[in-house]
Structure 1
């Protein structure tokens, strides 16, 4: 009986220490959801210029310097906002600067998101959703990430 208890106790102690270390911080952002309305196919939009919002990501760890990667990601069907569909092509979304090296604890990085809708009348009147995935990158022992949601509503007209 004692032989079984030692490995279980050791496992529980290691799990507790690891869980507490993992919960000591991660990433945060104030850009949770952005809605862009009445976009015209054939044009390029800056989220910063269109809404006044910029993607900011903060390293909330207490003592770990991290690299941060940012990329668009298609949502899965069960996470779609009603009335929206997944963006047809991730190439429509560009992150102005998508990789930041050596972000110190408490430090924030900022970047703009650019949206380009192809000039095609089949996109007129559509509503698309895409996630902006910000995550630790590189050789980090622990990976953490957060998602922001971008809702794109395309107007009914295609620019000449």
Structure 2
């Protein structure tokens, strides 16, 4: 689910949590296939927007723990971005540790005329962009009463 308005990362997080009866959250990109899927879906949905494409994802830096974490549904702990796991950082990112306190939240950004998107950490409160939400699929472990999304 992609947002149709821009919001700072914190507001995007709150908006996603209201989606899917409270089961939504900012999207994760655990591997290149998911990264490409989200990017292609975003580009298709926003084909009227002029590049460069930029949107928030569910990765942010926890200063107390000194690590990046992926958002998860309400009631689940955030998942750490483990060393050696998939990353898609733009050149020069993540920003140096002394800049992380004010630039903790991650977005995907198109950095050239080619449709290549890379992660950049930005300010959580002052960088309004589109954003992508997700929710876990309904199954025997994740009961869903309905598929109603707010707009």
Same fold (TM over 0.5): no
- Greater relative contact order (Cα < 8 A, sep 6+): 2
Q: TM-score, normalised by structure 2?
A: 0.29
Q: TM-score, normalised by structure 1?
A: 0.28
Greater fraction of residues in strand? 1
